[in-house]
Structure 1
Amino acid sequence: MTVTTSPLPGPLWTVLSDAAQHYPDNDALIADDGRLTYSQLLDQVNITARAMLGLGLQLGEHIGVLMGNSVQWAVIWYAAASLGLVCVPFNTRFRSDELSYGLAHEDVRALFCVDRFLNKIDFVGMLEAVEPAINTELPGTHLPLLEHLVVFGQHVPTAGLGAAAFLEMGNHIPPAELAAARAHVVPDDTLLIQFTSGTTAFPKGVMLSHASMLGIAKCVAVRMGAGPQDRYFSPRPFYHVAGSTMSLLVALVHGAALITSATFDPAQALAIMEREQCTLTSGNDTMFLMMLAEPGFSGQRLSLRGGWAAASPQILHDVVEKMGAKDICNAYGLSEASPNLVFSDYREPLALRLNGSMTTHQGLEISVLDPDSGQPVPAGTPGEICARGWSLMKGYYKLPEQTAAALRDGWLHTGDLGTLSADGRLQFIGRLKDMFRVGGENVAPLEVEQVLLKHPAIELAQVIGVPDPRLGEVPAAFVTLKHGSLASSEELIAFCKARCANFKVPRYLQVVEDFESIGMTGSSKIQKNRLRDYAIAQLGLG
């Protein structure tokens, strides 16, 4: 990767400084724990960076962040980035084993966390189980590299520092020392290590540079039409690149306000967007459906004009018609690409934006290959999406074999299925691993889901392949219905039968209340593997 091809190489500290200079009084961040203008944000970042130097943290060392979306989360990240520290954000849904692995494997030297999350998840208690030495003296025997623990909240263990004590560490650091530390940070330095799921027992750490994350943020902000007058509501978790690159940095690069919340609740999200007069937002199918189905929903109380989503045409149409986001854009990407590869443009015709047909950012290249032969497929033919260019990851941290498998001959093999039109527009079809074969025929779940979503009663549809003694696998569908709607499984199967090939028609279809209990990620995505296990158990196919 050559950082010079990024449209905004950074490093991040220079971009934040420029925003504070040009938009000092603009709201920068608004969250449950407060709000800061850009000048206030800069002040807080400087104070926090000095405290990090006071701890003895140095260029290239890794810090962990374990807390929900907050002003504090952003301040810690920006401060660390300004010193060339590598941020390792932890999923707030991680449990002890995942936390233990992440802290050890990613070589975290200092961890910044809240004592409790949402008043119910005891992070300090989890850490005690992982490293008992937090109650005596760090480092301990289980995590010998973890030397510092900074806890925001009331329950600070003996070896930890509370917020006030931490900030006092920076009192003796002169401005010249801070400036000198920042002068050594370059655009190709690793800015963040993003955990991503894979075939291994534990998540892989994707190394992303300042140049790649800022470059994608700049491209997305331009195509979204984001500017300093905008107020962008995104509940996307900051521990994911949809929250870091596609939310925090997208707002930052053009001086917009980023409004967020510690967790996604549809009623709260609508209230925040109304109160803060938000003009932009982002979400996925599930999030938008939950907001649209909220009792008393009224798009007339919103000020939305656009944003981005990874959602079906039917749902995006409702986002436009009912929520007023007429400039909404579609997006596709993955963590290994910082995380965006293709994006709509708000100036394109609505029909083009709704159907998920997107173009690459300048300097990036997309190819669709036959998964078996590795050769390019004809235009419009499904194949594996592969990409190369300046936004790609530097690799998986300390996992050379997995890195070599994903990055081959300069191309990132995404494991995703898509089509590429003759004029270079990509359409995402689904995960290759989610594809299943019915009597020798390939079925992409998304294709069947799109058919089901055309039924007026269906709110959300999810399709997976389940075992069948004759055909190997057959489709099984789970759907939720719109409020006040009724439809039988037989009716919905017949609806599919009239609209798609017989082998794609769900053999089984169940109407469910929601997908929360079946399995959703922290970013409100439905987990296909858990849904498949649920289906096999429910249908007695095990």
Structure 2
Amino acid sequence: MLPRGKILSEVLAETVAAYPHNDAYVDPDSRETWQSLARKVDLTAAALWKLGVRKGDHVAVMLGNSVQWLQTFFACARIGAVTVPVNTRFKTEELAFCLKQAQAKAIVLTEQFLGIDFTALLSDVEPALAGTLPGDNLPRLAMALMFDSQAVPAGATDFDRVIADVTDNDVNACYAQCGRVDPDDILLIQYTSGTTSFPKGVMLTHDNMLSDAYAVSLRMGITSDDRYFSIRPFFHVAGSTLSVLVSLTTGCCLLTLPKFDVAQALSLLEQEKCTLTSGNDTIFLMLLGHPDFDPSKLHLRGGWAAAGPEVMQKIHDQMQVPNLCNAYGLSEASPNVVMSSWDDPLQLRTEGWALPHDGVQVRVVDQNTGEISPMGEPGEIQVKGWSVMRGYYNMPDVTAKTFTDDGWLKTGDLGKMNQEGRLKMVGRLKDMFRVGGENVAPTEVEGFILMHEAIELAQVVGVPDDRLGEVPAAFVILKKGRRCTSDELIAWCKPRISNFKVPRYVRFVDSFDEIGMTGSSKVQKNKLRAYAINALGLKESGK
């Protein structure tokens, strides 16, 4: 049975007591034991308390992967405040929307991150940062707390200095006064990646996220001796739940980087003797395709991936990771819904057949009839149980539409169920397109293209066609030193997949960064489709 009904501070105390001197967190600038990390949390919580942060307050966190992100998240949890992670890729309009919609009372940020001037970005959103907060644009934002700042604006506070001035009496006062925090209290409001529209704030509780982390750690077979490298950004649930809280609930060491630099990642995996890692297909293919990749230098035994069969097989065969788990989930479910076990047969893990966690129910529903789909037939994945969100913050109508009348979360994802109750995610309903009346899942076509020896990455979207409605367009990145033409790739596909799935258009690109990537290293299909229509000189149907 899963350990349920705990709060983050309780789990942190247990982990610190069990493994005080073990490594807890490592990045290029930091190395913390559980004891030293806990001390930073104590000081940060006391600093927030002194500044007036209280239970239920919303604290936005605009930081990259760092010990500062961890200590702020854990400190908010200690008080009972709600962390609102801010996507570090947000531009002005997205940041303004997030801070206003979340009704943030405070924001914790750094002056610069990866060349982005966060101070200037926040000033564009709320000009009162130059004088006194709150301002007219964000009337609820009373505090801007800055780490690593050389020039703190008049309306902001030097958070490093406030933390440095905290005394043990302040820590004790925070402990004594901050009051009771319950497992069903909101721990975090996760703004979804926003691949199709402005993001929605998913409300997740202590119990949601900690229970999901516990469940995932059991499937992965983690022990306190593991060293878990995760490049997933902490502002995403694959970072907060499946990286940070998996480490917290098991006592294993979490290792990360502020951004995904492939050479740096491979170096860290080797030097720190990492035993576990995680990622999606893009991340693993970039690791495998790098000139520095050498499986003999790695120590990986497992971890998890959200990837198709071709990529899963490559990770096993070429990266030589024997016990990798396949995972499916979404922010609204904390996020993991199903994960294969590290000791499942390889074929089940590569093909993506995985069981739900104990206490989580999954069903597959026919979109046309609303009835349960027959075994092996695709339908919408729907979820019920302890991992499901409390709803979208301040969006009751949208929340209501996301659930069925009998309380199941509608994921918008397409899946199949087998007779053992294992689920396989097939694709995203919103990404599906129809070619002459036939449904096409981009992930399926991408999987076939990745079997070509010259291809490193592939992304497929449906683009307008006068005769068929839509046809596939593939955007691909070649492996270094490899050559392939559009005609050659199309000819290679024709005998291998159904004619309606063969890309009509193939374009080679160097990167998807400029086209549009989410913070979780997913290509934004809506932006890619718009890019494709423009690049190919097409017009939307009916225009």
Relative to the length of structure 1, the TM-score reads: 0.96
- Is 1:121 equivalent to 2:116 in the alignment? yes
Structure 2 partner of 1:458: 455
Cα-to-partner distance string for 1:182-215 (whole Å, 9 max, x where unaligned): 5510000000000014588521100000001000
The separation in 1 between residues aligned to 2:116 and 2:61, in whole angstroms, is: 15
CA contact (8 A) 1:6 1:390 kept: no
Corresponding position of 1:138 = 133
Residues 419-466 of structure 1 show CA distances to partners (whole Å, capped at 9, x for unaligned) of: 111211111111101111111111111122222222222222221111
Match of 1:296 among 292, 295, 299: 292
Secondary structure at the aligned position of 1:460 is classed as: strand
Cα drift, residue 537 of structure 1: 1.5
Deviation at 1:361, TM superposition (A): 0.4
SS at match of 1:353: helix
Residues 211-265 of structure 1, C-alpha deviations (whole Å, 9 max, x = no match): 0100010011111111110110111100000000000011111100001111111
Greater CA drift, 400-409 or 191-200: 191-200
Answering whether residue 99 of structure 2 is matched by residue 103 of structure 1, we say yes
The match for 1:371 is 367
* 2:394 matched residue in structure 1: 398
1:436 aligns with 2:433: yes
Tell me what 2:521 maps to. Answer: 524
Q: Secondary structure at the match of 1:104?
A: helix
- Are 2:143 and 1:148 equivalent residues in the alignment? yes
The one-letter code of the counterpart of 1:516 is: D
Would you say 1:63 and 2:59 are equivalent positions? yes
- Choose which of 210, 231, 235 in structure 1 pairs with 2:231: 235
Structure 1 Cα separation of the partners of residues 195 and 327 of structure 2: 25
CA distance in 1, matches of 2:78, 2:382: 32
1:344 corresponds to: 340
Q: Give a deviation string over 1:494-537, Cα, whole Å, max 9, x none.
A: 23221222222222222333323322222211111111112211
- Would the aligned equivalents of 1:6 and 1:391 in 2 still touch at CA under 8 Å? no
Of 264-273 and 524-533, more deviation after overlay is shown by 524-533
Counterpart secondary structure, 2:251: coil
* Distance (whole Å) between structure 1 residues aligned to residue 84 and residue 316 of structure 2: 36
What's 2:537 paired with?
540
SS of equivalent residue, structure 1 residue 490: helix
Shift of 1:147: 1.1
Give unpaired runs (5+ residues) of structure 2: none
Which position in structure 1 is the counterpart of 2:328? Answer: 332
Q: Secondary structure at the match of 2:105?
A: strand
- Equivalent residue runs for 1:202-351 within 5 Å: 202-351=198-347
Matched, 1:424 2:421: yes
> Aligned residue for 1:158?
154
Cα deviation per residue 1:316-354 (whole Å; 9 max; x = unaligned)? Answer: 222223323211111100000000100010011122111
Deviation at 1:314, TM superposition (A): 2.1
The 2-side partners of 1:512 and 1:321 are apart by: 27
2:90 equivalent to 1:77? no
From 493, 498, 506, the equivalent of 1:496 is 493
Q: Identity percentage over the alignment?
A: 52
Give SS of 1:530's match: helix
Contact between 2:465 and 2:471, CA under 8 Å: does it hold in 1? yes
Q: Deviations over 1:22-75 (max 9, x none)?
A: 000111111233111001111111111111110111111110100100011000
Q: 3-state DSSP class of the match of 1:531? A: helix
Shift of 1:313: 2.0
What's the CA shift string for 1:257-307, capped at 9, x where partnerless? 001111111001111111111111111111111112222321111111111
Indicate conservation of the 8 Å contact 1:109/1:147, yes or no: yes
Contact 1:52/1:170 (8 A) holds in 2: no
Count of paired positions: 537
For 1:471 and 1:273, the matched residues in 2 are separated by: 47
Q: 2-side partners of 1:225 and 1:199: how far apart?
A: 33
The alignment partner of 1:323 has SS state of: coil
Does structure 2 retain, via aligned residues, the 8 Å contact 1:32–1:261? yes
The answer to whether the 8 Å contact 1:342/1:358 transfers is: yes
What's the RMSD between the two structures over aligned residues? Answer: 1.7
d(CA) in 1 for partners of 2:197, 2:329: 23
1:29-40 equivalences under 5 Å are 29-40=25-36
Alignment of 1:465-480 (within 5 A): 465-480=462-477
Give the structure-2-normalised TM-score.
0.96
Tell me the distance in 1 between the aligned counterparts of 2:197 and 2:377.
33
- The runs of at least 4 aligned residues of structure 1 exceeding 4 Å deviation read 172-176, 197-201
Letter in 2 for 1:33: D
Greater shift in the superposed pair: 180-189 or 65-74:
180-189
